[in-house]
Amino acid sequence: MAEKKLFNTVSQSLTNEQKEKLEDIITLQHSSESNKTILGWLKEPPGHPSPETFLKVIERLEYIRGMELETVQINHLHRNRLLQLSRLGSRYEPYAFRDFQENKRYSILTVYLLHLNQDLTDKAFEIHDRQILSLLSKGRKAQEEIQKLNGKKLNEKVIHFTNIGQALIKAKQEKLDVFEVLESVIEWNSFVSSVEEAQELARPADYDYLDLLQKRFYSLRKYTPTLLRVLEFHSTKANEPLLQAVEIIRGMNESGKRKVPDDSPVDFISKRWKKHLYENDGTTINRHYYEMAVLTELREHVRAGDVSIVGSRQYRDFEEYLFSEFTWNQTKENTRLSVSLSFEDYITERTSSLNERLKWLTANSNKLDGVSLDKGKLSLARLEKDVPEEAKKFSASLYQMLPRIKLTDLLMDIAYITGFHEQFTHASNNRKPDKEETIIIMAALLGMGMNIGVSKMAEATPGLTYKQLANVSQ
């Protein structure tokens, strides 16, 4: 009864156009996947993180958004029940949905697609996360490769520096002519050439590799305009400069402008990136480095929880975890909490209670069993075993008294004694399973319960096919 009411509630909040779209995804084939329905295409695993994979994820995300299912009112329904419906939707094949009554079909599909929308949003940002890590990793590896290639030359320069240094020390100590001593170690022209080569070989003083990333900018551009166009970011006031920078880049992508405005916010950018942010004139902002810095900072702030993503599950706004102000105002007077709803009253009472307990502990510290307080350190005695040896021996003797029986036979006996198998009704007509169907149900339960899967269970069970077990599992 409760299930029917839930299905009716969700189904009635759908428009006729939305219902038609739901019918389409389980009946029509996808334009680029001739052997798959639209639902099958939406369910496909995204694949290895890459710019191409990101664009495929966004394509599915935009398709679901186009159905405008966010208008369906399900916030009042229990989260666990919605999660259960979503899991059902993820397991059913398109043909299975067609066997359901309309209300059930529409409800499960709606809840599943709303959850899939969140999953795809999270997946899109996860791919961006991996791409930024890949960008930084490639820069680090490029620097290591340069080090390997120039190892011999760098060693020569170290030897030159050592020889020159020793010569200069000798000139200082013996009060000799510096240039004569220097030329006795290395000819002047060779010295000049060595210095020029050293300048070419030198890496930044902090030995960072960000200067090697400029050429990698275009690999990010394969997907980042889509990232900034499709995903919407929110933040607290402290992170507004970052979101202003995101909007500036988004606007440049849409307008085709190449020059970053001179008044663009840069205070949020780390010192590490700021070293590469400006051109040689010191005032013009380098577009490549500005965009890479913003995208890197965006990744860091989202992962830290300072910036949220609209429509995400993993990176949603903290306020979404709480009651809305409207809901709280309606329910707070009917709560049965044993504490005051006023924070001031609550913290005053808790502080007073804590102080009383601490005073009691101080006064009775020498009388506590298994607890000692010495020189400001609290020590607890080791706990005894939870289960005495006698209980373990008694438990073992009880197990020896039980007759040995196959797990399959035991499950069938329990089924006929309790009748629990009758709760596995047919999805479309609510019919209870007959004797043959009960055997298939038990086999499917064993396969899932022992985590061996339907395929291996079918191989180990004579007379039952994979198709039978798969249908029951759904």
203 with 257, same domain? no
Query: Is 254 part of a structural domain of the chain?
Result: yes
Per-residue pLDDT of 107-162, as tens digits, reads 999 999 999 999 999 999 999 999 999 988 888 887 878 777 777 777 777 777 78
| End residue of a domain, out of 321, 348, 369 | 321
Kindly tell me if the per-residue pLDDT of 474 is higher than 80: no
76 with 21, same domain? yes
Per-residue pLDDT of 173-183, as tens digits, reads 888 787 777 77
Specify the pLDDT at position 349: 93
| End residue of a domain, out of 89, 108, 135 | 135
129 with 158, same domain? no
Specify the pLDDT at position 201: 67
- The b-or-e profile of 141-171 (16+ CB within 10 A means b, else e) is eebeeeeeebeeebeebeebeeebeebeeeb
69 with 167, same domain? no
Alpha carbon 205 to its chain's center: 36
Count of CB atoms situated within 10 Å of the CB of 49: 18
Specify the pLDDT at position 202: 67
What sections of 203-324 are H helices per DSSP? 217-220, 224-230, 240-255, 271-274, 287-304
User: Which tokens sit at 285?
Assistant: 């902002």
184 with 230, same domain? no
Specify the pLDDT at position 429: 67
31 with 130, same domain? yes
Kindly tell me if the per-residue pLDDT of 212 is higher than 90: no
- On whether the CB atoms of residues 129 and 303 are closer than 8 A, the answer is yes
Query: Is 298 part of a structural domain of the chain?
Result: yes
Q: How many CA atoms lie within 13 A of 2 on its CB side?
A: 3
Query: Is 347 part of a structural domain of the chain?
Result: no
Per-residue pLDDT of 50-81, as tens digits, reads 999 999 999 999 999 999 988 887 777 788 88
d(CA 90, CA 96): 12
pTM of the model: 0.72
Query: Is 313 part of a structural domain of the chain?
Result: yes
Specify the pLDDT at position 59: 94
169 with 253, same domain? no
| End residue of a domain, out of 212, 245, 270 | 212
Query: Is 336 part of a structural domain of the chain?
Result: no
79 with 149, same domain? no
177 with 277, same domain? no
Q: How many domains does the chain have?
A: 4
Give the rounded percent of residues in the chain with a pLDDT score beyond 70: 97
Query: Is 68 part of a structural domain of the chain?
Result: yes
**Burial degree of 140 (CB within 10 A; 0-12, 13-18, 19+):** middle
100 with 224, same domain? no
Average pLDDT across the chain, whole number: 85
d(CA 112, CA 106): 10
- On whether the CB atoms of residues 429 and 450 are closer than 8 A, the answer is no
Query: Is 364 part of a structural domain of the chain?
Result: no
Residue 13 belongs to what domain range?
2-135
